[in-house]
Structure 1
Amino acid sequence: MQNALFVGVSSQVALQRELDVIANNMANVSTTGFKGRSSRFQEYLMPVASADSFHRPDRRVSYVIDQGTTLDLAQGPIEQTGNPLHVAVRGEAFLVVRTPNGDRYTRNGAFETDPQGNLVTSDGYAVQGEGGPIQINAQETGLSIGPDGTVSTNLGIRGRVRMVTFANPQALTNEGANLYGSAAVPVAAGINGRLESGALERSNVKPVIEMTRLMDVNRTYTMVSGVISRLDELRGTAIRRLADVA
């Protein structure tokens, strides 16, 4: 009976984790460049007794182990905005931005300029060019961003937006504000990343699928809770009957 309770609890913990992931995906359905995540779980079989003198051998008990999440790198839908400072990232590349904690990576191409003329994201982080931050004077006109990230105005080329890729993008960690961190050193994106000017990549989260997953998780959680409650009642009944016999 104890094993059944432990199995139920391990399932509930896994389902709660799955619920958190789904909730985060749903909260970012409208976040520019957001990449959804899905949970990974693994079955763990409890070792059985090694003695061979039992009339009936032990049965393995199956538990659930949380193995983290996987990042869905599928391309999100592209929406035309007409804003020359907006760029949609196509391919596997990430944009590099400077934060107080160092360089971080994003797919959010909703650029703008700050009062100092620096090219920044909508959250105010400086967009990094291949030669450092990109600055545009207020007097410059005709701004455009090419597919390779080249930023040009009427005064010529002002820089090139830095795009990078990772050997193992699944190792990227979410750090809030639609940013990713990585312990690995990125490499130049090259042909693996192109920019589409005047457009934004929207979230790749599919609300209908997430809602279906949410209903499945809630239904399963309720079922497991019911099983645990019945097991607890059964144990209480057994204790009372044993006390009556005594």
Structure 2
Amino acid sequence: MFQGFYNLASNLIVQNRNMNVISNNMTNISTPGFKSDQLIQGTFRDEILYRYENGSQTPIGKTSQINTANEVVTDYTPNALRETGRTLDFGLNGRGFFAVQSGNGTVYTRNGAFNVDNEGYLILQGIGRVQGQNGPIRVGTDDIRVNEQGYVLSENGANVYGRLQIVDFENYNQLEKAANGTFRADAQPQVVEGAIVKQGYLEDSNVSMVKEMTNMMSGQRALQSSAQLLKMYDQLSGKAVQLGSM
């Protein structure tokens, strides 16, 4: 009976975490460049075999089938670029990330919905200043244009304010999600020389509303079923205690 308690309780924890992941995806469906997450689930038995047998599936006898949440995996698949016509919107065609200096260090993002702060620097709202190859890019109050190589120019092309720093990583597993669709990284990024910047475009998030709604309904059913069964186990346990005391 107690094994049933453990299984149901762990499943409730996993499904709650899964619902949080789904909710975050749906919240950011309109965030430019946002990358969706998925919770990978397993069992306690699978983790025991993996952690203590170094990946070998050597039988070690009967083990628990308690459900666990192994990890949250990010889908880095780029989505289509959508034309906005806004001068300070930028999309990346191909691999790479914009670099932004936040209060906690440099973060990386596919969100190119930039603005200009009171001091004339390009910023990602709520995060920090957009980085060029030689530091933050200051454009003042001038109208700007950006060519496909990422050079930020005055409207007439007479002034060059800098070049957007576009970077990439060999292994995206080195990235950790931060706020507003940004990522932190312990690894050193590599400058992408061949990146194509599209002014007046934004990359849509790769969240599928249909998929997330389906996952949410499935998760809600699993939560309800586990909660009902857990209540039943609790009632049976109470009756067993009463019988044992007679």
TM-score range, shorter chain: 0.7 to 0.9
User: Which consecutive residues of structure 2, in runs of 5 or more, have no partner in the other structure?
Assistant: 49-60
Q: Check conservation: 1:85, 1:145, Cα contact below 8 A.
A: no
2:23 alignment partner in structure 1: 23
2:53 alignment partner in structure 1: none
1:74 and 1:241 map into 2 onto residues whose CA distance is 58
- SS across alignment from 1:177: helix
State the shift of 1:88 in Å: 0.9
Q: Which amino acid aligns with 1:147?
A: E
Equivalent residue in structure 1 for 2:94, among 91, 102, 112: 91
Bigger drift between 126-135 and 143-152 goes to 143-152
Q: Which amino acid aligns with 1:100?
A: G
Per-residue CA deviations over 1:22-70 (Å, capped at 9, x if unaligned) read 11111111112111111122222298xxxxxxxxxx8432012222211
Equivalent residue in structure 1 for 2:136, among 110, 133, 142: 133
2:135 and 2:123 map into 1 onto residues whose CA distance is 12
Question: Percent identical across equivalent pairs?
Answer: 29
Evaluate the alpha carbon distance shift between residue 234 and residue 124 of structure 1 in structure 2; reply closer, same or farther with a 3 A threshold: closer
1:232 and 1:136 map into 2 onto residues whose CA distance is 65
The reply to whether residue 227 of structure 1 matches residue 191 of structure 2 is no
1:54 alignment partner in structure 2: none
User: When the two structures are superposed, what TM-score results if normalisation uses the length of structure 1?
Assistant: 0.86
Q: Check conservation: 2:41, 2:70, Cα contact below 8 A.
A: yes
- SS across alignment from 1:241: helix
1:211 alignment partner in structure 2: 213
Q: Which amino acid aligns with 2:179?
A: G
1:97 and 1:112 map into 2 onto residues whose CA distance is 12
Evaluate the alpha carbon distance shift between residue 24 and residue 112 of structure 1 in structure 2; reply closer, same or farther with a 3 A threshold: same
Q: Check conservation: 1:82, 1:198, Cα contact below 8 A.
A: yes
Q: Which amino acid aligns with 1:194?
A: I
1:124 and 1:243 map into 2 onto residues whose CA distance is 62
2:225 and 2:67 map into 1 onto residues whose CA distance is 16
- SS across alignment from 1:62: coil
Q: Check conservation: 1:86, 1:198, Cα contact below 8 A.
A: yes
State the shift of 1:76 in Å: 2.3
- SS across alignment from 1:216: helix
Q: Which amino acid aligns with 1:116?
A: E
- SS across alignment from 2:186: coil
2:140 and 2:215 map into 1 onto residues whose CA distance is 49
Q: Which amino acid aligns with 2:16?
A: Q
1:96 and 1:86 map into 2 onto residues whose CA distance is 15
Q: Check conservation: 1:96, 1:163, Cα contact below 8 A.
A: yes
Q: Check conservation: 1:99, 1:126, Cα contact below 8 A.
A: yes
Per-residue CA deviations over 1:141-165 (Å, capped at 9, x if unaligned) read 5x22122211122223321100111
1:11 and 1:124 map into 2 onto residues whose CA distance is 36
Q: Check conservation: 2:101, 2:127, Cα contact below 8 A.
A: no
2:32 alignment partner in structure 1: 32
1:113 and 1:60 map into 2 onto residues whose CA distance is 58
Q: Which amino acid aligns with 1:7?
A: N
2:171 and 2:88 map into 1 onto residues whose CA distance is 29
Q: Which amino acid aligns with 2:175?
A: L
1:240 and 1:64 map into 2 onto residues whose CA distance is 30
Q: Which amino acid aligns with 2:152?
A: V
Higher-Rg structure is: 1
Q: Which amino acid aligns with 2:167?
A: V
1:227 and 1:124 map into 2 onto residues whose CA distance is 45
Q: Which amino acid aligns with 1:23?
A: S
How well do the aligned residues superpose, as a CA RMSD in angstroms? 1.9
Q: Check conservation: 2:31, 2:180, Cα contact below 8 A.
A: no
2:174 and 2:68 map into 1 onto residues whose CA distance is 19
The reply to whether residue 68 of structure 1 matches residue 33 of structure 2 is no
Q: Check conservation: 1:114, 1:124, Cα contact below 8 A.
A: no
